[in-house]
Amino acid sequence: MRLDAAVGRRALLLAATAFTVPRITPAAEVTSLDGLTQGLGSLRQPYCVPGVTAKRCRGTFWETGQLYKKDESVQLLSPEEYSSALASLDRLGGSLREVRKLASTPGGAEAAGDAVGGRDGLRAELRQLGGRICKALSEDLELREDAEYLLKDLIRELDDVDSAALRDDRNDMPSAFSPVLIELDGALKALTAFRKVLPEAPPV
């Protein structure tokens, strides 16, 4: 009986060791979200590396080369600087309309995606310029919040343009129903809404 029990326990131990579970950091070791991410190890998604894990990567780092840091500063612009910023915004709007024309040509979807989502693309320019303009509205906090909300909506629309271009499989034929064109129309509407809420002079 003792021999049978020992054999049974040994069989259970062998069966248990046949299954391996990734080590997860114990709760006592998890002091931050980074710690939890490290504990998950192989369960997390790989880092985005342009040209390696993806054609393009999103976010501030890949657009500016700097790590993201929330900026709570107030950046007041002179009336001349503010007017210049609005003029630059209008110029970028014109560029985005030209990108839409490009996307409607055979094989233009990929080029349109590059123009929007590249490191020096329109998305990066609009994110940075729009942020400067929003900070210049700090004397009217409600207006600044509205503008920041619309800017985020614009960036989301541009993200959708980029994603649609990367997965577009109809580059050889123009179509009014092309996903890239549809997303570009959404981005242009979002840009119009953002521009419309901005006053012609900074609040004082």
Flag whether the pTM goes above 0.85. no
Residues 128 and 103 reside in one and the same domain: yes
Q: Quote the pLDDT of residue 156.
A: 97
Structural domain total, the chain: 2
Q: How many other C-beta atoms can be found within 10 angstroms of the C-beta atom of residue 184?
A: 28
Q: Quote the pLDDT of residue 100.
A: 95
Task: Report d(CA 4, CA 204) in Å as an integer.
Answer: 88
Residues 99 and 9 reside in one and the same domain: no
The answer to whether position 48 is within a domain reads: no
**Predicted confidence (pLDDT) per residue in 16-45, tens digit:** 555 444 444 444 444 444 444 444 444 445
Residues 102 and 189 reside in one and the same domain: yes
Residues 33 and 132 reside in one and the same domain: no
Rg, C-alpha atoms of the chain: 25
The answer to whether position 83 is within a domain reads: yes
Residues 25 and 121 reside in one and the same domain: no
- Residue range 86-92: mean pLDDT, rounded: 98
CATH value at residue 90: 1.20.120
Residues 142 and 95 reside in one and the same domain: yes
Range of the domain at 151: 60-197
Bridge partners of 50? 54
Residues 35 and 111 reside in one and the same domain: no
The answer to whether position 156 is within a domain reads: yes
The answer to whether position 161 is within a domain reads: yes
pLDDT tier, 122 (very low <50, low <70, confident <90, very high otherwise): very high
Task: Report d(CA 48, CA 125) in Å as an integer.
Answer: 21
- Residue range 102-131: mean pLDDT, rounded: 91
Residue 52, pLDDT > 70, answer no
The answer to whether position 54 is within a domain reads: no
Contact indicator for 164, 183 with CB cutoff of 8 Å: yes
Residues 14 and 88 reside in one and the same domain: no
**Predicted confidence (pLDDT) per residue in 137-193, tens digit:** 999 999 999 999 999 999 999 999 999 998 875 545 546 678 999 999 999 999 999
The answer to whether position 55 is within a domain reads: no
Residue 201 backbone class (left: φ over 0; alpha: ψ -120 to 50; beta: rest): beta
Task: Report d(CA 56, CA 162) in Å as an integer.
Answer: 9
Residues 13 and 73 reside in one and the same domain: no
The answer to whether position 204 is within a domain reads: no
Q: Which residue has the higher pLDDT, 103 or 75?
A: 103
The answer to whether position 177 is within a domain reads: yes
Residues 171 and 110 reside in one and the same domain: yes
Residues 12 and 99 reside in one and the same domain: no
- Residue range 58-84: mean pLDDT, rounded: 66
Residues 115 and 169 reside in one and the same domain: yes
